Amino acid sequence: MNKVILIGNLTRDPELSETNSGIAVCRFSIAVSRDYSNSDGNRETDFFNITVWRGRAEVCGKYLRKGNKVAVVGTLQNRSYEDKDGIKRNVTDIVASEVEFLTPKNAQSDFADEGAPAGRREPAKLEEIDDNQLPF
């Protein structure tokens, strides 16, 4: 079984792009604090790269911003590449099947500017993505 659930804050604005075949893809990273403190009494933080596909990618690219809190459900995916110095690098990404916005709309002015109904204050939840829809 390959399933991961994370709650964290975006470390940067999401990057929305398209593949050569026109499929939307959104990439962002989140910071997740550990449940325990280190020997200095500080809580350490882990950083995770998130990839979202298709319509969910478009929604994430449109509404998410640096600092927003999100819940992500997805799968781990390993990949490797060779950097500009010829060194092989291994990377683990989370391919999100669900993203739930946890930052309230009224806490971020960008949401109000997008024409969403003024009375709606619950977090936006994206539908699950079928694994067969992924382009890899």
pLDDT, averaged per 10 consecutive residues of the chain (136 residues), comes to 97 96 96 90 94 96 96 96 95 96 72 38 44 48
pTM score, whole prediction:
0.73
pLDDT of residue 108: 54
pLDDT of residue 117: 37
Question: What is the homologous superfamily of the domain 4-34+43-131 according to CATH?
Answer: Nucleic acid-binding proteins (2.40.50.140)
DSSP code, position 86: S
Identify the burial level of 34 via C-beta atoms within 10 angstroms of its C-beta, where 0-12 means exposed, 13-18 middle and 19 or more buried: exposed
Whether the CB-CB separation of 70 and 102 falls below 8 Å is answered with: yes
